[in-house]
Amino acid sequence: MTEKKWVYLFSEVEAAEKAVGGDWEDVRALLGGKGSGLADMTRANVPVPPGFTVTTEACNAYLNADEKFPPGMWEQELASMRYVEGATGKKFGDVSNPLLVSCRSGAKFSMPGMMDTVLNIGLNDETAKGIAKQTGDDRFVYDAYRRLLEMFGEVVLGIPDEAFEGPMDEYKEEKGVKSDTELSAEDWKNLVEKFKVVVREHLGFDFPQDPYEQLRLATEAVFKSWFGKRAVDYRNAAGIAHDLGTGVNIQTMVFGNMGWDSGTGVAFTRDPATGEAIMYGDYLMNAQGEDVVAGIRNTEKIANLEKDMPAAFQEFVEICDKLERHYTDMQDVEFTIEQNKLWMLQTRTGKRTAKAAVKIAVDMVNEGLISKEEGIIRVQPDDVDTLLHPQFDLGAIEAARKAGTLYASGVNASPGAAVGQVYFDADTAERMAKEEGQDVIMVRPFTKPDDVHGMLAAKGILTSEGGATSHAAVVARQFGVPCVVGAAMIRIDLEKRQMSVDGNVVKNGEWISVDGTTGEVFIGQISTIAPTLEEQTDLLTLLSWADEISATPGIRTAPDGWPTTGLQVWANADYPADARRARSYGAVGIGLCRTEHMFFEQERLPTVQRMILADTSAERKSALDELLPFQRSDFEGLFEAMDGYPVIIRLIDPPLHEFLPSEEELLEEVITMRVKGETLGLAEKEDLLDHVKALHESNPMMGLRGIRLSIMMPEIVEMQVRAIFEAAANVTLKGVHALPEVMIPLTGTVNELNVIQPSLEQIAKEVMQDKGVEFPYKFGTMIEIPRAAVTAGEIADVAEFFSFGTNDLTQMTYGYSRDDAERNFLLKYVEDGILPKNPFQTIDRDGVGRLMEMCVSEGRKNRTDLEVGICGEHGGDPDSIEFCYSIGQNYVSCSPFRIPIARLSAAHAALKYKGVAIMTDN
């Protein structure tokens, strides 16, 4: 039996592919993102320093075996070292020509800064002398050695960073120097000795001089870091599984700090903030990798590298281009130039803002690099949400500038507007956001992986150090948090919990406004506005492709009569203005118009109340006659706005008491009048109070409302149906294509529909006859009571369409009243995992969803072309939209502002379920 392979050379990518069965995603899982990228680049003849990857499987085996290397792993690691020695002509631990390596973690998904790299492994007192002799550069060697002591001490041996920073600062102060560049070879030598003492004092043993011991300890440290707190926190926040494990990459060191013909940098192949197709990044001459990210020295823009090192730059541009075409996506790369020779150290798909995600997807489709389908998949519904989120009102910004509240400016690292109260550490920021419900801005000199929880809780992030590729910037972009970094004029005093610019102090808890789009920071609260969709041309293009996908005939595999194009997106709109907006956002129907909103308007409410309080049917009818013209003109506006598209109008739904003053309020007024002896109007008030008392119900949600109210008091819905059809007839005569659909709420049994629907249809026919016009129309019902879902077959015999009211359906399926549940226990349920999600935000597929699925298929058994949609809040939730697609609904209806998100989600669902037959009970 051949031994299990735990280690793959970078040049063995084919063997790795074979081991996992050929799928690249599985290679990434086995070698990790960094390792598979290095191997893939090696295969493509990109210059990569030789090395190898210890697999994620080895990591898991180690962690599952009480932290012992699996049998054979260490021997394979040693054998691979032999290979690297051969490839480089150097020898690990050799005194005259020593090989140095880095040890780098890398899991399947990149976790910026989560697990730390150790550079210069293989240096010790002897090899240091060897390299010094080889290079003739003592300063370089002892700088590298003290870096190893520091990194190894912190990352592998767990010594706190202050333990090294303290002696270093002291030393510099003694010498009277500010910057590291002023330190000489002798200084670094002295610091090496001081750092050795730090290790000994902290651990009681010496820094391991044996290179193999260094290698072994470093490998183990990477394995262990998989379950370090910050890695676990990050995975929880990003939804990454905990059983993937990390790979360990051992790679020949190359040096960007070997003089002024060397350098190092990081770059994105496109601008990760805007998506523009220009190279974006920073580099430093004569520096080692971490210096760029750490923001210790001021970096240069990548474009300037062309002047500094034309040949290397040219090669770099060509490699970037090749990598982008190979991966067909924007890449985030690391490189080092050692004495004019370019080396690539990492490539991965670059994180980007929502804006960049959309632009890059659209551009790459237009460049022929990816298909429209791929372009759609690359953009997430959340990205669209972010793009439609508030930005600062330009007028308000101008005013703030004039008022002199511009406080500082830095690098615009992650766009968007954030207004909040400042806190200077992650724990406080998180606490204030979560416990006090405050809008929080987290301010730090720079951020580290331990700060991520505070950054996620914050509305915005501000740092005084670091650049566009610093930790704060990368994390902020990934999570869509507005962020300004490197606002160098700000002095942060962590002890006093305040910051200042030229003596202008902002304290803990004070308000600031951070503009991640421009990089500016203002004191106080600046008002924001929602951006318009029309301005976002790339997004509009992308959404038009999404609609094309959804509208493709046959994209959905479903039984005869069921929709075989994708899910349509309709809107909930009560007024013509809402309908117009909905249409401009791409809605192709109105799924819910709530007529009672029209009753609440000031001039109408008294008439509505008179109608409710009427003692006879004749009195009631006369009040309703007054309301009819109002409703009719509202409906005319809706039909005109939605010319050619269906408009579903729901008949009155809430209990009548909602249109009357509250009982307590009235009682108080009556008592006050009686006490004061006022008589004018008292009798009317008392009468009203009696009526309100008579309407009192102990559980109005389950009382006289919806279809039940219509049966008890048919005059209201009769008026409404008349208004709907008169309106439709009037606009039809004007040439508008009206498609009214009358929706009866809260049906529980088909018998209810049998009582009310025929008489309403009769009114519809009469109106059309009187007006002498005909147009298509439908009568249907909402499905919000579990019994209706269960008896959907019978109900479909009468109703021509169903619309899920998933708010009520969820309430009644769980037996929760939403307000009470969300106030009293739902949060705890979700936190404790009793419920996976808030079922009022995302459809509970197992319970409520099961009812819906059954309802659709039972309904279509009796009426094949039954139109089915959803009009609850869930209609704008991506996960729920996918579910609605999967059970064969015709459309989702959501608030106008969610329409772009719903259109993208519907296309995602269509692509995900392409070729998958819908399950039916048939």
| Residue 49 interacts with which of ligand ADP, Mg ion, none, CB < 5 to 8 Å by class | ligand ADP
DSSP secondary structure code for residue 153 in this structure: I
Q: Which of 290, 393, 439, 822 binds ligand ADP (CB under 6 A)?
A: 290
Separation CA 492–CA 109 (nearest Å): 34
Burial of 752 (0-12, 13-18, 19+ CB in 10 A): buried
Query: What's the CA gap between 911 and 908, in Å, rounded?
Result: 5
Q: How far is the CB of 182 from ligand ADP (least distance, A)?
A: 23
For ligand ADP, which is the closer residue by CB, 117 or 513? 117
Closer Cβ to ligand ADP, 290 or 800, answer by number = 290
Total residues interacting with ligand ADP, rule: CB under 6 A:
16
Task: Answer yes or no: are the C-beta atoms of 725 and 765 closer than 8 Å.
Answer: no
Among 88, 120, 252, 346, binds Mg ion (CB under 5 A): 346
Pairing between β-strand 246-252 and β-strand 300-301 as defined by DSSP bridges = unpaired
Q: Is 808 in the site for Mg ion (CB under 5 A)?
A: yes
User: Interface mask (CB under 6 A) for ligand ADP, residues 555-594, using x and -?
Assistant: ----------------------------------------
Tally the residues of the chain. Answer: 922
Comparing CB distances to Mg ion, the nearer of 549 and 717 is 717
Of 33, 98, 113, 849, which one interacts with ligand ADP (CB under 6 A)?
A: 113
From the list 279, 333, 345, 499, which residue makes contact with ligand ADP (rule: CB under 6 A)?
A: 345
Select from 350, 466, 805, 896 the one that contacts Mg ion (CB under 5 A): 805
Edge-to-edge order in the sheet of strand 331-338: 300-301, 280-285, 263-268, 331-338, 341-349
Q: Which is nearer to ligand ADP, 292 or 590 (CB)?
A: 292
Residue 620 amino acid letter: R
Joined tokens for residue 907: 């296309």
Q: Which of 799, 918, 59, 317 is nearest to 561 (CA)?
A: 918
Is residue 286 part of the contact set for ligand ADP (CB under 6 A)?
A: no
* Residue 336 found at the interface with ligand ADP (CB under 6 A): yes
Interface stretch with Mg ion, choices 214-222, 345-353, 670-678, 830-838 (CB under 5 A):
345-353
Q: Residues 802, 763: contact at Cβ < 8 Å?
A: no
Considering only residues 726 through 785, tell me which ones interact with Mg ion, judged by CB under 5 A.
784
Half-sphere exposure of 188 (CA within 13 A, CB side): 23
Q: Which are the catalytic amino acids?
A: 471, 871
Q: How far is the CB of 334 from ligand ADP (least distance, A)?
A: 4
Query: What is the 3-class SS of 231-252, one letter each residue?
Result: HHHHHHHHCCCCCCCEEEEEEE
Which one of 346, 464, 803, 880 is in contact with ligand ADP (CB under 6 A)? Answer: 346
Among positions 36, 42, 76, 102, the unique one binding ligand ADP when judged by CB under 6 A: 102
In angstroms, rounded to a whole number, what is the distance separating the alpha carbons of residues 535 and 529? Answer: 14
Contacted by 274, from ligand ADP, Mg ion, none: CB < 5 to 8 Å by type: none
User: How far is 281 from 292, CA to CA, in rounded Å?
Assistant: 10
- Near ligand ADP by CB under 6 A: residue from 218, 253, 457, 855: 253
Crossing angle for the helix pair 878-886 and 899-912, to the nearest 10 degrees: 50
* 805 binding partner (options ligand ADP, Mg ion, none; Cβ < 5 to 8 Å by kind): Mg ion
Tell the smallest beta-carbon distance from residue 265 to ligand ADP (Å): 9
49 near ligand ADP (CB under 6 A): yes
- Strand ranges (DSSP E) for 93-154? 98-99, 101-107, 118-121
The answer to the question of residue 122 lying near ligand ADP (CB under 6 A) is no
What is the rounded distance in angstroms from the CA atom of residue 17 to the CA atom of residue 702?
A: 61
**Nearer CB in complex with ligand ADP: 104/708:** 104
Query: And the tokens for 669?
Result: 């007024």
Please, what is the minimum distance in Å from the beta carbon of residue 53 to ligand ADP? 12
Does 460 sit near ligand ADP (CB under 6 A)?
A: no
CB atoms within 10 A of CB 177: 14
808 binds, among ligand ADP, Mg ion, none (CB under 5 to 8 A by kind): Mg ion
C-alpha to C-alpha distance for 597 and 610, rounded to whole angstroms? 17
* Exposure on the CB side of residue 444, measured as CA atoms within 13 A: 25
Which is closer to ligand ADP, CB of 334 or CB of 653? 334
Q: Which residue is nearest to ligand ADP (CB)?
A: 289
- Buried/exposed code over 235-250 (b: 16+ C-beta within 10 A; e: otherwise): beeeeeeeebbbbbbb
Interface with ligand ADP (CB under 6 A): 49, 102, 104, 113, 117, 119, 251-254, 289-290, 334, 336, 345-346
Interface with Mg ion (CB under 5 A): 346, 784, 805, 808
